[in-house]
């Protein structure tokens, strides 16, 4: 660090570093978009309206989850590995409630309560000092076991007119799921930047010791971050059941990886404190378009996963290297 930099107040140096990181992140995003456009031009079917509509619809589900997961990462608790199982628990709960004869509003309430419990329990255990990776991995296994025992590993079908409407409806030619994704992204971004609790989650992620010293309730904020994430997961689970009219244990395969990839491609720092739900939403759109393009080029499932993994590792490595560079 130069003498001039060292003489600056710490807050100014940190602010300058953050600004520099964001500028370089934006540059990386521009590079990714540029490459995507090049590939799109060389894949004619990619530019059709129906294909783009399908890709964005897929991005809406992954993006909604990614927006919720951003709060866990911002809080300094890495990323949950129980996304698919949490979504399955909500979907199965909704199907059981509907098949038991509950009205759709009450069945939806049951599903939301299940999501709140799943998120709060994981957040509480993590708030006690447990490793979030181990907690969410264990929670995922436990949830999967419970769901399998309850359903006998059978898919549950549902037949609710109102719910089917939610899955099939569109506005201005755009699926309702996409509008919900956009609304959640905007609300989450505003909450993260301007609401007191959202700002506190970010501050906790930057430095938990300082957060405690300043009087912030770290346990509460940790639980809040997990609850917000599982509520976003619940939205996707409900939309999925609405669209397919069924709930099964394998309904959300790949959701965990895709949502995590979206958060990381969006530039949210794994150590916490730096990132944005809006950027995670952008990352989800990129992931969906990338997978869609690879599918049109007839890449195998394994090849698509390989490419997606390479892109994620490259992006995270870039963000990490640039972050270290501006902190020197």
Q: What are the residues facing 157 on neighbouring strands?
A: 246
Would you state the pLDDT for residue 16? 43
Q: Report CA-CA distances (Å) from 109 to 81, 98, 115, 189, 225.
A: 25, 11, 10, 25, 20
pLDDT given at position 323: 66
pTM of the model: 0.86
* pLDDT value for 123: 97
Reference 66, options 247, 202, 232, 196; nearest CA is 232
Query: Please, how many CA atoms are within 13 Å of residue 239, restricted to the half-sphere of its CB?
Result: 23
DSSP letter string over 90-141? HHHHHHHHHHTT--HHHHHHHHHHHHHHHHHHHHHHHHTT--HHHHHHHHHH
pLDDT score recorded for residue 32:
62
The distance from CA 280 to its chain's CA centroid, rounded to whole angstroms, is: 7
Q: Return d(Cα 105, Cα 276) in angstroms, integer.
A: 32
pLDDT of amino acid 28? 52
Task: Tell the burial category of 263 from Cβ atoms under 10 Å away from its Cβ (0-12, 13-18, 19+).
Answer: buried
pLDDT number for residue 227: 98
- Find residue 170's DSSP bridge partners: 175
Contact 83, 255 (CB under 8 A): yes
DSSP one-letter string for 156-218: EE---HHHHHHHH-EETTEEHHHHHHHHHHHHHHHHHHHSHHHHHHHHHHH-HHHHHHTT--H
Q: Do residues 296 and 46 make contact, with C-beta atoms less than 8 angstroms apart?
A: yes
Counted residue by residue, the chain has a size of 328
By CB neighbour count within 10 A (0-12 exposed, 13-18 middle, 19+ buried), where does 34 fall? Answer: exposed
- Between CA 168 and CA 258 the distance in angstroms is 23
Rounded to whole angstroms, the Cα distance separating 233 from 208 reads 26
Per-residue pLDDT of the chain (328 residues; tens, 9 = 90+): 444 333 434 443 344 444 444 554 565 567 667 766 777 778 878 777 888 788 888 899 999 999 999 999 999 999 999 999 999 999 999 999 999 989 989 999 999 999 999 999 999 999 999 999 999 999 999 999 999 999 998 999 887 776 777 777 788 888 889 999 999 999 999 999 999 999 999 999 999 899 999 999 999 999 999 999 999 999 999 999 998 889 998 999 989 999 999 999 888 888 888 889 999 998 898 888 888 888 888 888 888 889 888 988 888 887 777 666 655 5
- Cβ pair 123, 227 in contact under 8 A: yes
């Amino acid at each position: 660090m130069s003498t001039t930099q060292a003489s600056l107040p710490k807050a100014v140096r940190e602010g300058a570093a953050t600004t520099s990181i964001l500028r370089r992140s934006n540059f990386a995003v521009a590079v990714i978009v540029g490459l995507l456009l090049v590939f799109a031009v060389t894949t004619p079917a990619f530019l059709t309206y129906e294909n783009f509509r399908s890709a964005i619809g897929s991005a809406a589900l992954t993006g909604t989850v990614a927006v919720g997961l951003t709060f866990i990462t911002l809080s300094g608790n890495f990323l949950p590995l129980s996304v698919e199982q949490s979504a399955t628990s909500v979907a199965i709960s909704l199907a059981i409630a509907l098949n038991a004869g509950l009205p759709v509003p009450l069945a939806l309430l049951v599903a939301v309560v299940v999501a709140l419990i799943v998120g709060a329990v994981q957040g509480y255990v993590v708030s006690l000092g447990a490793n979030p990776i181990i907690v969410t991995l264990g929670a995922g296994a436990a949830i999967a076991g419970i769901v399998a025992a309850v359903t006998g590993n059978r898919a549950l079908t549902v037949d609710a007119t109102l719910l089917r409407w939610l899955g099939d409806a569109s506005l201005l030619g755009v699926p309702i799921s996409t509008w919900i994704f956009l609304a959640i992204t905007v609300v989450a971004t505003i909450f993260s930047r301007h609401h007191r609790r959202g700002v506190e989650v970010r501050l906790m992620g930057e430095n938990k010791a300082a957060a405690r010293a300043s009087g912030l309730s770290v346990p509460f904020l940790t639980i809040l971050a997990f609850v917000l994430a599982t509520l976003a997961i619940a939205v996707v689970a409900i939309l999925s059941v609405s669209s397919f009219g069924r709930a099964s244990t394998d309904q959300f395969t790949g959701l965990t990886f895709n949502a995590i990839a979206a958060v990381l491609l969006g530039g949210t720092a794994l150590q916490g404190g730096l990132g944005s739900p809006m950027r995670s939403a952008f990352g989800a759109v990129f992931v969906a378009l990338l997978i869609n393009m690879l599918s049109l080029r007839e890449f195998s499932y394994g090849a698509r996963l390989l490419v997606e993994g390479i892109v994620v590792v490259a992006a995270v490595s870039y963000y990490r290297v640039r972050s270290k560079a501006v902190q020197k």
